[in-house]
Amino acid sequence: MIAERRFKSVICEPVCATFSPAQHPASRSYAQPLGFERTNPKTYLGNLIAFRCLSILWVAWRYAVIALLEQPQLSKMAWLPFWQFLLQLGFVEAITDSCVFGSIHRKPFRWLGYDLDMASINARCTGGHQHVKIEGQLTKASAIYHPGLADFIADKICAALKLRHAALPEPKPVQIESVVLNDVLMQEGWKTIDDWHWRKPAHINVLESNSLVKLFHHLVQKGGRLRFCALLDSRVAKGAHGKGRSSARALRPSLLRGCALAIAGNLHPAYGFAPTRLNTADAPTRNRLLPEPALFSILDFLSERQVASLHSRQFSRATAGWVRLYILVAFSPPAR
Task: Return the amino acid letter for 297.
Answer: S
pLDDT digits (tens, 9 = 90+) for 270-316: 999 999 899 888 888 778 888 889 989 999 989 999 999 999 999 99
pLDDT greater than 70 at residue 158: yes
Structural domain boundaries of the chain? 9-167, 179-331
pTM over 0.75: no
Percentage of residues of the chain with pLDDT beyond 70:
98
pLDDT at 177: 94
Per-residue model confidence (pLDDT) at position 121: 94
- Mean pLDDT score of the chain: 91
Highest mean pLDDT among 62-71, 137-146, 160-169: 62-71
Quick one: CATH architecture of 179-331? Answer: 2-Layer Sandwich (3.30)
Max Cα distance, the chain (Å): 101
pLDDT one-digit tens code per residue, 28-38: 999 999 999 99
Name the band, by pLDDT with cuts 50, 70 and 90, for residue 210. very high
pLDDT above 60 (res 336): no
HEC profile for the chain? CCCCCCCCEEEECCCCCCCCCCCCCCCCCCCCCCCCCCCCHHHHHHHHHHHHHHHHHHHHHHCCCEEEEEEECCCHHHHCHHHHHHHHHCCEEEEEEHHHHCCCCCCEEEEEEECCCHHHHCECCCCCCCCCCCCCCHHHHHCCCCHHHHHHHHHHHHHHHHHHHHHCCCCCCCCCECHHHHHHHCCCCCCCCCCCCCCCCCCHHHHHHHHHHHHHHHHHHCCCCEEEEEEECCHHHHHHHHHCCCCCHHHHHHHHHHHHHHHHCCEEEEEEECCCCCCCCHHHHCCCCCCCCCCCCHHHCCCHHHHHHHHCCCECHHHHHHHHHHHHHHHCCCCC
| Mean pLDDT of the 47-54 span | 96
Q: Mean of the pLDDT values across residues 242-248?
A: 91
**What is the pLDDT at residue 288?**
82
pLDDT at position 335: 62
Residue-level pLDDT at 128: 86
